[in-house]
Structures are given as structure tokens and as C-alpha cells.
Chains A and B, each alone.
Chain A
Amino acid sequence: MALTGVLRPGHAQVRVLNLEESVRFYRDVLGLVETGRDAQGRVYFKCWDERDHNSYVIREADRAGIDFFGFRVLDKATLDKFDADLRAYGLATERIPAGEMLETGERVRFTLPSGHVMELFADKTKVGNGIPLVNPAPWCKARDHGIAPIRLDHALLYGPNVAEVQKIFTEVLGFYLVERVLTPDGNANAAIWLSCGQKVHDIAFAEYPEPGKLHHCSFLMESWDQVLRAGDIMSMNQVAVDIGPTRHGVTRGCTIYAWDPSGNRFETFMGGHLPYPDYETMTWTFDNFGQGLDYPQRKLHETFLSVVS
């Protein structure tokens, strides 16, 4: 089997300022499937085509932002090995018992030098995507409810010490660097895009003085047409849109950035090139960051660099 180790982004837990307003947004506007609520008051969602019980969890808090981002790894042995490897590398890890999140197995939690809490897990109940495994239809009714992305694709996180974060992902967790934007002096990376498979990114980071900040969680759309439809639905519901619809130079992905009702940015994303682990990293100089962000407009939108939660 070629794809081992870390398989994919598995869950994000995001803080919202008003729970029920946010549930209505994520369920009826973004079109996620609500799959449960727990004793802590957290609400669990998945995208319609995801098979695991949950991928996006919200909880009410007095500040916006992200609590943690988790990756699914191949199996229990892989989880234990990553735990040992992270400790050997010098990071403290913590075990969160199975069941602390609904339908989710034991998690290994650690904090990056950027201030972000990361998790690895090997088990989450497969609830299916509403389509049978035998003679499956290509989609089900849930695809037409709201924006209806097909999966949690990646996150972009802002914080300090991006060079150290890159080392942890590439030297311990088996990711590779797909693209990067250099700092203005060209001596370091201002932003990095990391993949654990053949997606153009599974997680990305940008250098930022405040730790632990969320730039966006990204949701995958099936087509450019679906991205445009997402933009229509955003306007119909007066969602605050940041950038797009447009195409990124970095990743080549098509995009809309917008904000949830608490000011957490999210993305409806589609496309991107198809990297392999042996490919050379692609580099953008800082003076071309505008094209990297918004290729048609060649514009380094001010909010991209300065608005986070």
C-alpha cells in the first residue's frame, strides 16, 4: 500500500460565539450534515461524502478561533509509532481517551511551536455517506442541501516558528513541502503548503507573531461550477465574503474565502495540481505573493495577511 502513516485531515474543532446561530449556518448554509451533540454541548458535523462520523466540530466560547486540528492515521500501530517518534523528537504528547469526542478513538495530542494543538487518531466510526457500498449511486440528496462540500480538505494556520513546524511535519509525520512563499528578504519561508498524500496540501502555515491563530478551514467542492454556486448561496444568505470566486496561483486551486457568523474564515476550494513526494518544491518570491493568492487579479489582499481568528 502506498498511502500509509498520516492519511488525511480528520477533524477540526472551532469556537463560535453563538452556538445555534452557527449550527444553522453550518447545517443549512454551508450544508454540512449534523451528526451529533455531546454532553459538553459540542455539535458535530461531517461533509456529505465523508464516511467518518465527524470532521468539523463547533463549541460555543467567548472567543472565536480553532481549538485543535486532527489527522487520521492508518491504524493503532501507526498512532503508537507517531507518539513515540514525536516524543523522541522532543515534543510532549498527551493521550485523549477514546470517546472524549463522539465516535472517535484514542487521540494523541501535541502542541506545535506555532501554538496550534494537533491531534492524531486511528479510529472514528464509519457512518457512511448515505450511498450504499454495493452498486453505489454517484451522489445522494444531501449533495443539494446548501453549499454541500464533499470533505474537509485542509486548514491554513497562522503563528510563529514556521520553520520548526515544517521540520516536525516533514521529519516526523512524513509530510512533504509542495509549495512555499519566501519572506521579503528571501531567507526564510513566509508560508508553507504541506501534503501527506497526493493532495496539493493537507495543512498550511504562515509566519505570524501571534500563536495559535486560524486563517481558514477549507472544504472541497467537486467543480468550479459548484464553487460559483457556493458564492450564490453565500450572497443569498448574506454571508461575509472575503476573496473570490477566483483561482490561487499557489496550488492552482479555485476558491472563495468567507467567514462564518463568528468570524472564523472558511474556504470553498476546488482543484489544484497533483503532487508526488518526489516532486521538487515550488517557490514563490514575496513580490509575487499577490499572484500566488489571487492569480487573475494579481492582488495581495490586505485581509489575507491581517485578518485571523
Chain B
Amino acid sequence: MAHTVSIEDADVRYACAPQESLLSGLHRLGLRGIPVGCRGGGCGVCKVEITEGEFSTRTMSRDHVSDDDLAHRRLLACRVYPSSDLSLKVIGKLQKKVCTPADRPLP
């Protein structure tokens, strides 16, 4: 049975099956709200904070998910599978960092 996922601050709600990641459930419906990157837990752009609900996860790159992130349920949406209705906040983003020298702040 699909669960309802709500993206706070974006007014987006969608149905996501337990065997489908939060990211693929969203994009299979043609909806936007969470940035899409590698979809394999490696790049970190789809980072979200789960504010309500239960879920399971698959392995994510620790470059993007620290112990503190795990404790605060800040995870990569491509590796999170809902086991109840869920609410989340989007915290990852696509930043165009090419050409941005290391000593200059990101735009």
C-alpha cells in the first residue's frame, strides 16, 4: 500500500509505495520538489530531513550523511523508503559550483 509523502514548504503531496524511494516516487509522477542527482546515494543533492513518519533506508555515502545527520534524520531521498505516511523538508540543492574557486564563497 502506498503512503502519502508531504514536502513541507512546497505544498506537494504524493503517493509513494514502500518499495519505492521517496525520490523516485516523486519523479515518477512528474512532480518536482527534491533535486535529482545520481539516485544511488552517492552525490548528496537530494538531501531531506524527515520531520514525521517511519521509513527504512539503504546505504548512503558518508560524504553527505554524517552521524549527526543520521541522528536528526537528514538523509538522501533516493535511499529512503516509506513505511508510514511521511513529512519532509528539502535541505539539499543543486549548486553550480564549476568555476567557483575554493577561496570564493558559493553563490
Contacts and interface: CB of A to CB of B under 8 A. Distances in A.
Contact of B61 (A191, A263, A265, A303): A263
B42 A18 contact: no
Interface string B51-69: 0000000011111000000
Given A17-B60, A18-B59, A263-B61, A207 B101 contact: yes
A128 interface: no
Contacts of A183: 99
Interface string A287-306: 00000000000000011011
B101 A263 contact: no
A209 B102 contact: yes
Give 3 closest A-B pairs by Cβ, nearest first. A263-B42, A263-B38, A64-B42
30 contacts: A17-B59, A63-B62, A64-B43, A64-B61, A64-B63, A184-B99, A190-B99, A191-B98, A207-B100, A208-B97, A209-B101, A210-B102, A240-B38, A261-B40, A262-B41, A263-B38, A263-B39, A263-B41, A265-B38, A286-B99, A302-B96, A303-B36, A305-B96, A306-B37, A306-B45, A306-B96, A306-B98, A307-B43, A308-B43, A309-B38
Interface string A256-267: 000111111100
A124 to B, nearest CB: 28
B99 to A, nearest CB: 5
B102 A17 contact: no
A62 interface: yes
Interface of A: 17-18, 62-65, 158, 160, 183-184, 190-191, 206-211, 240, 242, 259-265, 286, 302-303, 305-309
Contact of A17 (B42, B45, B96, B104): B42
B98 A259 contact: no
A309 B102 contact: no
A306 B96 CA distance: 5
A160 B95 CA distance: 16
Contacts of A286: 99
Interface string B22-45: 000000000000001111111101
Interface in B60-105: 60-63, 94-102, 104
B94 A206 contact: no
Given A17-B60, A183-B99, A262 B42 contact: yes
B38 A207 contact: no
Contacts of B100: 207-209
A223 to B, nearest CB: 27
Tell which of B39, B94, B98, B100 has the most Cβ of chain A within 10 Å. Answer: B98
Contacts of B63: 63-65, 309
Contact of B37 (A18, A184, A207, A303): A303
A309 B63 CA distance: 9
Nearest to A308: B43
B42 A309 contact: yes
A207 to B, nearest CB: 5
Contacts of A18: 59
B106 interface: yes
Given A17-B61, A18-B59, A64-B61, A207 B98 contact: yes
Q: Which of A209, A263, A303 has the most CB of B within 10 A?
A: A263
A211 B83 CA distance: 37
Given A263-B40, A307-B38, A190 B61 contact: no
A261 B59 CA distance: 11
